[in-house]
Amino acid sequence: MTQTPAPTVASLSRFRTTCPYCGVGCGIIATPDGAGGLDIRGDKDHPANQGRLCSKGSALGETTDLATRLLVPRVDGKDSDWDTALDRVADAFRSAVDTHGPDSVAFYVSGQLLTEDYYVANKLMKGFLGSANIDTNSRLCMASTVAGHKRAFGTDTVPGIYEDLEEADLVVLVGSNLAWCHPVLYQRIAAAKTARPSMKIVTIDPRRTATSGLADLHLSIAPGADVALFNGLLDEIIVRGAVDEAFVADHVSGFAAARDAASTANLSVTGLPPHEILNFFRMWIGTEKVVTVFSQGVNQSSSGTDKVNAILNCHLATGRIGKPGMGPFSVTGQPNAMGGREAGGLANMLACHLDLENAEHRAAVRSFWAAPEMPVAPGLKAVDMFDAVEAGKIKALWVICTNPAASMPDADRVRRAIEGCDFVAVSDITAETDTARLADVLLPATGWGEKDGTVTNSDRTISRQRGILPPSGQARPDWRILSDVAARMGWAKAFDYETPAEIFREYAALSGIAAQFGRDFDISALSDISDAEYDALAPVRWPVTATRTGGRFFGDGKFFTPDGRARMLPLHHRAPASDLSDDYPLRLNTGRVRDHWHTMTRTALSPRLTRHMGEPFVEVHPADATRLGLQAAGLAWAESAQGKALLRVLITDRVAPGQIFAPIHWTAETASQGRIDALVAPVVDPVSGQPESKGSAARLTPYAPAWFGYAVSLAEPAPETTYWAKARVRKGWQVELAHDTVPEDWEGFARALFGVPATALAVMVQDAARGSARLAFVDNGRVLASLFAGPDPIAVSRSHVAGQIGDPALPNLLSGMPGADQPDPGAVLCSCLNVGVNTILHAIETQGMMQVAQISEALGAGSSCGSCRPEIQALIDSRRPGLAAE
């Protein structure tokens, strides 16, 4: 085979690597600062971001400290050594397989894993342990897209590339808050629209999000109604004669059945005014270059796969696929969700897009691996896997690089299930996650900055994550930990890897075999790259074969189904699976915030990322808030049939009446009762097995504590109140508090909360009648801690109070506000440059700054990573004449 030379970077001295957060897959240039940290810059040469980074990527250098790291193996809660820990894992898995059979063991892995880690985990479970019980948290993220792609295309392949988002004349964002969840893609689209104002944007989302501010049209669709809307669009495409007859005749099957189903679409279930629907239909049909972007709002649904196919139907009917500026475009949530899909990390797949249920594919992989056995049926998908754990059918569980006790639906039940499992191993970088606390054996893994391997982003670009820093403590790469266990179980030869490059070459070679079966994932031209070429591998979009590198798929009408034709499917609307009732009348939507990531094991380490959203909250419409007696900035119990959480109330018309939104990030580590996935019903899409994380039935009731509090402290506080939410600030910690009874002795309460030395001087003002108190502890003239408590939500300037910690005590220490000569900047909007809402509003109102660029130039806000620009625009819009009253 003629080999395509491996792309190389000019020099590795600048440590090119890849961001470990979202599926945009931005390139980073990282420079060690010599003290264990990293200076972070966007890589101008990386095709995904071209130098841009969002707030999360920019703050990566603040997340490498070791305070929370798991540094040595632990067995039964005690520090141990690698041999003891690995022996214990191998013995437990061997014992379970021998006694109860291969399906008594399971791996639950992660879209954070590198492809090489994924490949080894999958090989060990499917080829050697003999079960397909390996699934990934990507099941919660994009399994419906995988299933939808396979149904329509015969393969799980994103047809387009990022440039299509800029070349399109119309970008439709469905269930996708790009501004917060894929900020650099948002910035690319926003820049394209600025350069070419004729470009149109439509957002389709039950919630008006930061992304909606960019839209020419926003459709606040009813939850779960996307199939009806896109069926309606398909029907309109047909009625208006916009079908690409030649493309359909030559390359598509199933058109008639899809047409018939679409003709029955009931658009009233969308809850949208007819003129908005018609406007959208006209824009979509009348624009040849249209890209329909979709993500979690589509995937995380009990009809997620049908939603995906409803979108694909429209693109197939019009032939608008795989050509410049047009096509359906799934964007993935995690940094290597795509790599996991390619490496066979889901329970129903083999590596390299081969099918587990295809006997020829199984035999080829088994032969390639020299595997003793291969399962013939799919393994347990995530929700089913933890059901089996609860039922005692899984005797040994290995959780790798993820936190299911916090992030799975029905999380309290999942936590209990893991607790009751006979044997649980957890590989992680963090010592005290909700899941790590339940482990029999804890295995320290290398983290971002230490790991070495590859990831694939949302447009099929494979990039290197490089080990820049030495492993922390005794941490080891995940592929090595897995290989060491495999060796102890008797499979040393098959897992005798010394480097990730060896694994990558094996994987690339297997893709060449997959290509012989007509599979599209083919990187075989990289199967014999040298270690040096692997080290220097520059971002490259697959396929990478002797004859082709990168490009789009399906524009030529060739698909990967048995007959080579794409399939349109007949689809019908289904409402969310959880029925609303008198007990649970509200539809709960869950999702991400701008500056945090998943269960915050990394982003919570950065004080700057915490400035934007410092505690768990629930967004509720003003009409619902009034009806339910909820107080702005008060607290409320959010409850479902599964569980409950205690959240700060944020009253906003961004959510529609009858709907509430809460973020997914808070865990038992960061809040007393902020785990929103405890409320999410474990109902799944019947095709993909993806949970419906955006459609549970819930209720809100006010929580009226005896007092609210806000405290800051140099040392980490230890709250035991009904409500607390902790976060790092520049020199210490802040904690929001609320409790049912007022302490008789505020000073004693605060001393216990902060653990301050007895020598620290307490300064206090107290109003016993109101039940309020303000106190601070000062030692050697420096402020150690302060507490503000009272019967109402605490209205102090948090940035001012937090800024005093560790500094000399000022006369107005207990005022909670800056002096009259220092206006309160308000809640932080721009995390990078620490610019608050009040500061920006002041500039708008007193200096007439009505453009984001003016604010950026005058105040700096929005001039660094740019993640806050949509929110600055929203503030400007709120002060525009004629809009202010909305």
CB of 365 to ligand SF4, least distance (A): 31
Q: Residue 310: helix, strand or coil by DSSP?
A: helix
How far is residue 602 from each of residues 36, 57, 266, 671, measured CA to CA in Å? 15, 11, 45, 16
CB of 346 to ligand SF4, least distance (A): 22
**Residue closer to ligand SF4, measured from CB, 538 or 742:** 538
Core vs surface per residue 848-865: b (16+ CB within 10 A) or e: ebeebebbbeebebbbbb
CB of 664 to ligand SF4, least distance (A): 15
Q: In 522-676, which ranges are continuous DSSP H helix?
A: 531-535, 607-610, 622-628
**Residue closer to ligand SF4, measured from CB, 28 or 698:** 28
**Residue closer to ligand SF4, measured from CB, 59 or 385:** 59
Under 8 Å between Cβ of 179 and 245? no
CB of 65 to ligand SF4, least distance (A): 19
CB of 867 to ligand SF4, least distance (A): 8
Do β-strands 761-767 and 772-779 pair in parallel, antiparallel, or remain unpaired? Answer: antiparallel
CB of 489 to ligand SF4, least distance (A): 36
**Nearest in space to 186 (alpha carbons), one of 781, 642, 880, 865:** 865
CB of 173 to ligand SF4, least distance (A): 15
Q: How many CB atoms lie within 10 A of CB 240?
A: 12
Q: Which residue is nearest to ligand SF4 (CB)?
A: 57
Q: How many helices (H) and strands (E) does the chain have?
A: 28, 34
For residue 340 the two structure tokens come to: 């996991």
**Residue closer to ligand SF4, measured from CB, 56 or 644:** 56
CA angle centred on 707, ends 704 and 712, rounded to 5°: 130
**Nearest in space to 145 (alpha carbons), one of 109, 180, 167, 176:** 176
**Residue closer to ligand SF4, measured from CB, 60 or 529:** 60
Answer positive or negative: Cα dihedral of 604, 609, 611, 612. Answer: negative
Q: How many CB atoms lie within 10 A of CB 67?
A: 8
Under 8 Å between Cβ of 622 and 552? no
**Residue closer to ligand SF4, measured from CB, 22 or 785:** 22
CB of 27 to ligand SF4, least distance (A): 9
CB of 330 to ligand SF4, least distance (A): 15
CA distance 372 to 264: 52
**Residue closer to ligand SF4, measured from CB, 483 or 831:** 831
Q: What are phi and psi of 102, to 5 degrees?
A: -60, -30
**638 Rama class: left (phi>0) / alpha (psi -120 to 50) / beta:** beta
Q: Note the Cα 108 to chain centre separation in Å.
A: 17
Q: What are phi and psi of 808, to 5 degrees?
A: -60, 140
**Residue closer to ligand SF4, measured from CB, 126 or 608:** 608
**Residue closer to ligand SF4, measured from CB, 40 or 514:** 40
Q: Which residues of the chain form contacts with ligand SF4 (CB under 6 A)?
A: 19, 21-22, 24-26, 49, 53-54, 56-57, 182-184
CB of 454 to ligand SF4, least distance (A): 15
Under 8 Å between Cβ of 27 and 5? no
CB of 469 to ligand SF4, least distance (A): 18
**Residue closer to ligand SF4, measured from CB, 19 or 285:** 19
**Residue closer to ligand SF4, measured from CB, 26 or 501:** 26
DSSP string, 723-783: EEEEEEETTEEEEEEEESS--S-HHHHHHHHHT--TTSEEEEEEETTTTEEEEEEEETTEE
DSSP lists the bridge partners of residue 588 as 660, 696
**Residue closer to ligand SF4, measured from CB, 22 or 105:** 22
**Nearest in space to 458 (alpha carbons), one of 141, 62, 884:** 141
Residue position matching structure tokens 């300064």: 763
Burial class (CB within 10 angstroms; exposed 0-12, middle 13-18, buried 19+) of 586:
buried
For residue 305 the two structure tokens come to: 């796969």
CB of 357 to ligand SF4, least distance (A): 34
**Residue closer to ligand SF4, measured from CB, 584 or 597:** 597
DSSP string, 17-66: EE-SSSTT--EEEEEE-SSS-EEEEE-TT-TTTTT---HHHHGGGGG--S
Q: Note the Cα 465 to chain centre separation in Å.
A: 18
**Residue closer to ligand SF4, measured from CB, 182 or 665:** 182
Burial class (CB within 10 angstroms; exposed 0-12, middle 13-18, buried 19+) of 95:
middle
Q: Residue 801: helix, strand or coil by DSSP?
A: helix
Q: Which amino acid type is present at position 14?
A: R
**Residue closer to ligand SF4, measured from CB, 57 or 325:** 57
Q: Residue 424: helix, strand or coil by DSSP?
A: strand
Q: What are phi and psi of 735, to 5 degrees?
A: -145, 130
CB of 181 to ligand SF4, least distance (A): 8
CB of 50 to ligand SF4, least distance (A): 11
Q: How many CB atoms lie within 10 A of CB 664?
A: 25
**Residue closer to ligand SF4, measured from CB, 184 or 849:** 184
CB of 180 to ligand SF4, least distance (A): 10
CB of 52 to ligand SF4, least distance (A): 7
**Residue closer to ligand SF4, measured from CB, 183 or 717:** 183
